Structure 1
Amino acid sequence: MKRTLIISSAVMLAFITGGHAAQKPNIIFMLSDDQSWNGLSVAMHPEFSGSKSSHVRTPNLEKLAASGLRFSSAYAPASVCSPTRIALQTGKSPAQLGWTKAAPTMTAADGYKMIPPTNIRSISKDEVTVAELLKTAGYATAHYGKWHINGGGPEAHGYDESDGETSNKDAAPFKDPNPVDIFGMASRAQAFMAKNHKLGKPFFIQMSFHALHYPENARAETLANVRKRNVGGNEKNVLRIAIAEDLDAGVGKVLAAIDKLGIADNTYVIYMSDNGGGGGGGMRDGLSGGKGSVWEGGIRVPLIIAGPGIKGGGFNHQRVIGQDFLPTFCELAGVKAPMPKGVEGGSFVHLLHGERHPVKRLHEELVFHFPHYQSSDGPHTALILGDIKLIKFYETGELKLFDLSKDLAEKVELSEKHPEQTEALNKRLNNYLRDVGARLPVPNPNYDPSKPPQPPKKGKKGKGSNKKKNLREKQ
């Protein structure tokens, strides 16, 4: 049985602004897929030249940034998809939830030095989601696009409307003129907004875009325009630029719908990526690492927020993480129900209002636990405390230390210079993992260093989509 929410009988009637009551704000949360921190034409840091793309054109996100706030130190809960998505729904870390990898994990038979832990791979009915909490405050809720955490789909977890229990493959059939269902999602969100605005009911919409997956589905016109610009790189790079620009056009459609309804002054719009882009180790456009690693390139993501009381064009440099959204949205919505046990995120509403002090969370440190094989680093975990970052590598036991305030690219390794600080952070990391019940890799008793490991197994194909048939039609 799902834990019963203890709901206060008193419901917040309004937010107070200048002494006048105001309607509860609408919240639209847009999540892109595999989009790098510097994957927009919007700079994510005012002083870091590698914080925006010189090739991708995202004018609608530029517009959103001009009216909103950019977070230079925003982090996805994980460097891969599904763990981030379940953390966003619950406010808990992937380490606590026992879901730290998207694809199936390695076994002893694969021949690696360590045996990674298995994953739960389904959101439990016992977890209380952000949608369920917002509904206690009178919100209409919708989830469009990629769910990818099983458990019966969004409507089994507090959403009034959804596209069903979708995953990556559901994007594949949607091609020009509706690549990976970008514009279909925007249309459904527009209809949901209009319906609830007419009813006078506040709404929460999560739009989990499939892009940048299936970049080959980009619109022909967009792709032609990208080719004319001679952006360089291989064909995959060209396709990814095109689908990113189609995604920006979808964002523009959502923003236009907000303006048409006249609700911009009472609507928060959030744009973020589920993890860093690319894959493997090494330098990637100014940041080290990529998808599947806990270097900055795998976990630092673009984050732009616009809405009531937010001064446009600014930057905030405090660290925020995906787990923070649940308590933040609840504070914005006036949720009276207590936070579920184990929520690790903290509200950052004060940052939206121009304050600078750090977010208060259950744990002061941020931990990114990836005890798996996907990048060249093997199983590894990172901890960030203040500006100092520790990375622990399980195969070798090696510890690396970086000062992100001076070395965002993680080029200067400091563990030998600061051995006491390194060991103190390692102890803190071990205590955190113990306290949340994190699953760890263990030595493989069958490991033979003379035999190279087998290539990672591909995930098994599903038995067909649960996506609602009427949403299969190209829009």
Structure 2
Amino acid sequence: MNLMRLIALGLLFVLSGHALPAAEKSPMNIVLFLIDDLGWMDLGCQGSDYYRTPNIDQLAQDGVRFTDAYAACAVCSPTRAAILTGKYPARLLLTDWLPSGRWDPQAKLIEGRKLRGLPVEEFTLAEALQRAGYRTIHLGKWHLGSEPFCLPEHHGFDINVAGNAHGAPGQYFYPYQGNWKIPTTTHRARWHVLPDGDAGEYLTDRLTDEAVKLISETDGKPFFLYFPHYGVHTPLQAPKKLVAKYEGVTKAKRQGKAVYAAMVESIDQSVGRVMAALQQEGLADNTMVIFTSDNGGFYNATSNAPLRANKGAYYEGGIRVPLIVKWPGLATPGRVVDEPVISSDLYPTCLAAAGLSMLPSQHLDGVNLQPLLSETETLSREALFWHFPHYNQHPSSHPSSVIRKGDWKLIESFDPAAVELYNLKNDLSETTDLANQFPQRRKALLAELEAWRDEVDAERMRPNPNFSADSKSSR
């Protein structure tokens, strides 16, 4: 059958009142950027006039920005576990960064037990997508365990680039050597993030090169690109030209260190390059892009103001993070949502984008955010929870549990023992403790927090029989 006859038959088919069969649309691709230690105020679209993030700001204009998004933990590994499992860290028994060392035998309380890797029994987001025919790619920081069972390839990723047990690269420039003293021991860990590279090569750029290459090799198969950057975690290192750009800003106008600002801009460039690659490959209109952080900004790198405190703490500066979701054809461009959401919600949201059924027995604590992306609906969930039965060295950090319900947030600290209550609508900076002014609300929220800890079987801290008031606490 020649071409002219095909065209004639097609016209006849349409004129007869029938439509030509539409080409079957391929499943939605998913790109998930997880930035390490990026603070809530570290983007232009979040209100910063210091950090230069035009590509991320454009992503926010093209998608939905959440103002009240939270990391599942104030430190990194538990948040990563929550994203990949859809569960609260307390339910997973994975509540601290890995490997954080032994608890201090002189501390007032014995820390809660914790796992040293993501359990293989968990059916991760990557496994769910892999089973549905997706090509699954892990690119960057893993920090959820090591050999023999706990690397990305053991949890549903077809490809693992640069993912290992460690939480930082050691060096951001090739050869990316790590040399780290293991806490509470006399031993050191040594590693290389990548086995090869060129002199002067910068890790953020190299990982982006890998991302662009992998996107170009998809060959029509749907893909899940999980891109947890090592940046902007310490050590604070960036290309000299970028650093010089921010060193030219007067100190009075700086929100953070010049080198940190350069690291933020390098992440923005990475996002821009990935978005350009999607456009070039004709995939931009069929790819959901998520951008978020694993906890608040590091105290020695950036200012989280107006939020209180920093990474490691359970005030807003430690757990409130940026979140942007671009879902072509569904998410209303430029929409801003103030509904409280959390890391665990990304699992069911990605399932929805892929056109897959929910897995409620797996993502027990995650809620599909799809209704918030284009409508004025709210979620049926009443509260968010955190539990951190550990000590750490970050300023303003205490072992504690937290509940946020509506505008109210209660923090129960275990050492020192205290209860704080804040109204975030009226007091975003958590400057006024209302626990004594609203005793009934305090009581009700404490009861709800305790009931949640029972439900998830959260590890409790216990009095340390070896503690002496004359000895030093680990804090």
Q: TM-score range, shorter-chain basis? A: 0.7 to 0.9
**Alignment partner for residue 387 of structure 2, among 337, 359, 369?**
369
The equivalent of 2:364 in structure 1 is 343
User: Percent of pairs identical after alignment?
Assistant: 34
**Alignment partner for residue 415 of structure 2, among 380, 390, 395?**
395
In the TM superposition, residue 422 of structure 1 has moved relative to its aligned partner by 0.6
Normalising by the residue count of structure 1, what TM-score does the alignment of the two structures yield?
0.83
The equivalent of 1:80 in structure 2 is 75
Aligned residues: 420
The equivalent of 1:193 in structure 2 is 215
Say if 1:304 and 1:222 are closer, same or farther in 2 by CA, change over 3 A. same
Partners of 1:331 and 1:84 lie apart in 2 by 21
What residue identity is the alignment partner of 1:367? F
In the TM superposition, residue 442 of structure 1 has moved relative to its aligned partner by 1.1
The equivalent of 2:323 in structure 1 is 303
The equivalent of 1:134 in structure 2 is 129
Partners of 1:239 and 1:72 lie apart in 2 by 26
1:149-228 equivalences under 5 Å are 149-150=144-145, 151-163=149-161, 164-170=163-169, 172=171, 174=173, 178-179=201-202, 181-196=203-218, 198=219, 200-228=220-248
1:326 aligned onto 2:347: yes
In the TM superposition, residue 230 of structure 1 has moved relative to its aligned partner by 2.6
Of stretches 125-134 and 19-28 in structure 1, the one that deviates more from structure 2 is 19-28
Task: Tell me, yes or no, if the aligned pair for 1:96 and 1:438 is still in contact at 8 Å.
Answer: yes
1:325-369: per-residue Cα shift (whole Å, max 9, x none)? 1111111112237333462111011111233312x45xx321111
The equivalent of 1:10 in structure 2 is none
The equivalent of 1:64 in structure 2 is 59
Partners of 2:283 and 2:358 lie apart in 1 by 26
Partners of 2:363 and 2:335 lie apart in 1 by 32
Say if 1:255 and 1:118 are closer, same or farther in 2 by CA, change over 3 A. same
Task: Tell me, yes or no, if the aligned pair for 1:116 and 1:442 is still in contact at 8 Å.
Answer: yes
Task: Tell me, yes or no, if the aligned pair for 1:186 and 1:253 is still in contact at 8 Å.
Answer: yes
Partners of 1:303 and 1:276 lie apart in 2 by 12
The equivalent of 2:32 in structure 1 is 29
1:277-334: per-residue Cα shift (whole Å, max 9, x none)? 1249xx9411112111111110000111123122222201111100001111111112
The equivalent of 1:263 in structure 2 is 283
What residue identity is the alignment partner of 2:156? G
Partners of 1:301 and 1:346 lie apart in 2 by 17
What residue identity is the alignment partner of 1:165? N
Of stretches 123-132 and 186-195 in structure 1, the one that deviates more from structure 2 is 186-195
Task: Tell me, yes or no, if the aligned pair for 1:41 and 1:59 is still in contact at 8 Å.
Answer: yes
Task: Tell me, yes or no, if the aligned pair for 2:130 and 2:156 is still in contact at 8 Å.
Answer: yes
SS in 2 for 1:258: helix
Say if 1:177 and 1:263 are closer, same or farther in 2 by CA, change over 3 A. farther
Of stretches 374-383 and 74-83 in structure 1, the one that deviates more from structure 2 is 374-383
What residue identity is the alignment partner of 1:98? L
**Alignment partner for residue 237 of structure 1, among 247, 250, 257?**
257
Say if 1:307 and 1:171 are closer, same or farther in 2 by CA, change over 3 A. farther
SS in 2 for 1:22: coil
Partners of 2:334 and 2:200 lie apart in 1 by 32
The equivalent of 2:272 in structure 1 is 252
Normalising by the residue count of structure 2, what TM-score does the alignment of the two structures yield?
0.83
Partners of 1:235 and 1:349 lie apart in 2 by 34
In the TM superposition, residue 215 of structure 1 has moved relative to its aligned partner by 4.9
The equivalent of 1:12 in structure 2 is none
Partners of 1:28 and 1:235 lie apart in 2 by 29
Task: Tell me, yes or no, if the aligned pair for 2:30 and 2:287 is still in contact at 8 Å.
Answer: yes
Of stretches 438-447 and 124-133 in structure 1, the one that deviates more from structure 2 is 438-447
The equivalent of 1:104 in structure 2 is 100
Partners of 2:284 and 2:367 lie apart in 1 by 26
Partners of 1:326 and 1:123 lie apart in 2 by 16
Say if 1:354 and 1:98 are closer, same or farther in 2 by CA, change over 3 A. same
Task: Tell me, yes or no, if the aligned pair for 1:77 and 1:87 is still in contact at 8 Å.
Answer: yes
1:438-464: per-residue Cα shift (whole Å, max 9, x none)? 111111222222232356xxxxxxxxx
1:23-80: per-residue Cα shift (whole Å, max 9, x none)? 221110001001110011222xxxxxxxx32321111111111211110000011000
In the TM superposition, residue 171 of structure 1 has moved relative to its aligned partner by 5.5
Partners of 2:115 and 2:286 lie apart in 1 by 38
SS in 2 for 1:162: strand
Task: Tell me, yes or no, if the aligned pair for 1:71 and 1:318 is still in contact at 8 Å.
Answer: yes
| Higher gyration radius (CA) | 2
TM-align CA RMSD: 2.3
Of stretches 321-330 and 130-139 in structure 1, the one that deviates more from structure 2 is 130-139
What residue identity is the alignment partner of 1:91? G
The equivalent of 1:40 in structure 2 is 43
Task: Tell me, yes or no, if the aligned pair for 1:318 and 1:356 is still in contact at 8 Å.
Answer: no
Say if 1:338 and 1:212 are closer, same or farther in 2 by CA, change over 3 A. closer
1:349-428 equivalences under 5 Å are 349-358=370-379, 360=380, 364-374=382-392, 375-428=395-448
SS in 2 for 1:217: coil
What residue identity is the alignment partner of 1:357? T
Gaps of 5+ in 2: 1-21, 175-198
Partners of 1:39 and 1:169 lie apart in 2 by 20
1:5-24 equivalences under 5 Å are 22-24=25-27
Partners of 1:156 and 1:302 lie apart in 2 by 29
